[in-house]
Copies of this chain bind each other. A is one copy, B any other.
Amino acid sequence: MCGIFGIVGHPEASNLTYLGLHALQHRGQESAGIVASDGHSLQAHREMGLVADIFTAPVLEKLPGGAAIGHVRYSTAGGSQLKNAQPLSVEYVGGHMAVAHNGNLVNAQELRTALEADGAIFQSDADTEVVVHFIARSKQPTFEQKAVEALSKVKGAYSILFLTENKLVAVRDPYGFRPLVLGKLKNSWVLASETTALDLIEAEFIRELEAGEMVVIDETGLHSSQPFQPTRLGRCIFEHVYFAKPDSVLFGTSVYETRKELGRQLAKEQPAPGADLVIAVPDSGVPAAIGYAQESGIPYDVGLIRSHYVGRTFIEPQQSIRHFGVKLKLSAVRQVLKGKRVVVVDDSIVRGTTSRKIVKMLKAAGAVEVHLRISSPPTQWPCYYGIDTPSRQELIASSHSVEEIARYVTADTLGYISLDGLGTAVGDRERTTFCTACFSGKYLTGELNNASAPSTESAPKLAIIA
């Protein structure tokens, strides 16, 4: 998953992009990059790691100019390499361009094959690069027309920023899978994945880009258009459930309030009568847990403490001390849990292994009953639109009933919110404006026969070399 940020018309463009990326760090912790334009040429810096470690003062000084775009990235194992870090930046016949993309294209592999057959050479494994090649090959006169031509060929999710020597172009795909907001900081325009980035730099929130909208900012000002075929909306509901930062306003509503509402709805659908207290799996479960507590009247308390020093990348140093993973991140508060019937609220269950460890930890700390409540429906399908979910086989809910999952995670009871309840909480009971494919299997872009998964079959070709 990824976060993107852009600013144009500010003397400290790359410094502000650094801050914006910092605010969006939760959207990707693997690599980060900034490309800045000083009106003549683009300067780029990309590195594996966290924003605050990468962009030291000397690095930022080498990114001068009044416009910049930035990117934070997370990806599953295979593609985790520097060459896939964004923004991509290339020289082509029209000059320089840089691209920062959030989302995933579902027809990238077939387009890439076609481009390669036509002599194109790819620098990265990223789906984004096909867009770059289409732009470089376009015969359209202006950059924005080239970009429209290129994007017309791709299918899937994209909130995307382009930077040239003298232009910033922002586009959101017609489904509107991923968020993208427009802000204003004095005389400069700002674009960001989430409003939390605007708040940090004290930019004013203007509006969300519409699905299918293209915004061009250059010396003549800001121009908006709707260059693509319209289609139904498919905003990612999982951004509300888990992914976005709680202080952001997303698709028109507060993430925090939406999550609390999910908790309230969950309490209605899946009550836990007789329980003594409601706790969250911190931090993502906190808003829904508070909602659940408010709705149910069961008191909210803190039963698990989240360590400040564990990121996603924690590696256990030694075979014999494996499986400390969850315990290093979360520790139980015995005096709160002892002898209590506990409702514990989390946002989702993926493989079930973490939930199982948490339930066991709560019981070891003295909880007599553990009632697990999940503020989204069972996650049964992989996401092809930019969220890193494992394959179907690994998703416990794709092959197990709720009861079986409850038994696996050793919870006394387990309750998920319903699809309808999820829709209700986000204000769209029928889910006609949201994507819910990971819960419902209804992929808006049609049949997906693993087009994006590269074949790994290949036989050795030459004995003398192998």
In chain A, positions 415-451 with a C-beta closer than 8 Å to chain B are: none
Given contacts A121-B91, A460-B40, whether A305 and B136 have CB atoms under 8 Å apart is no
CB distance from A435 to the nearest CB of B (A): 24
Contact B246 A458 (CB under 8 A): no
CB distance from A330 to the nearest CB of B (A): 9
Closest residue on chain B to residue A25 by CB atoms:
B309
Complex copy number for this chain: 4
**Across-interface contacts of A55 in B (CB, < 8 A):** 317
Contact A39 B257 (CB under 8 A): no
In chain A, positions 27-66 with a C-beta closer than 8 Å to chain B are: 29, 37-41, 50-52, 55-57, 60, 65-66
Contact A333 B246 (CB under 8 A): yes
Contact B123 A123 (CB under 8 A): yes
Query: Which stretch of A9-17, A101-109, A153-161, A401-409 is in the interface?
Result: A9-17
A328 within 8 A of B: yes
Given contacts A308-B26, A336-B257, A464-B218, whether A327 and B121 have CB atoms under 8 Å apart is no
Contact B256 A122 (CB under 8 A): no
Q: List 21 A-B contacts (CB under 8 A).
A: A15-B318, A16-B321, A18-B317, A19-B328, A23-B331, A39-B462, A52-B309, A67-B465, A93-B117, A116-B136, A119-B120, A167-B462, A218-B464, A246-B302, A246-B333, A254-B333, A254-B336, A256-B302, A283-B308, A290-B302, A294-B299
**9 smallest beta-carbon distances between A and B, as pairs:** A119-B137, A39-B466, A166-B462, A254-B335, A39-B460, A66-B465, A93-B116, A166-B461, A67-B465
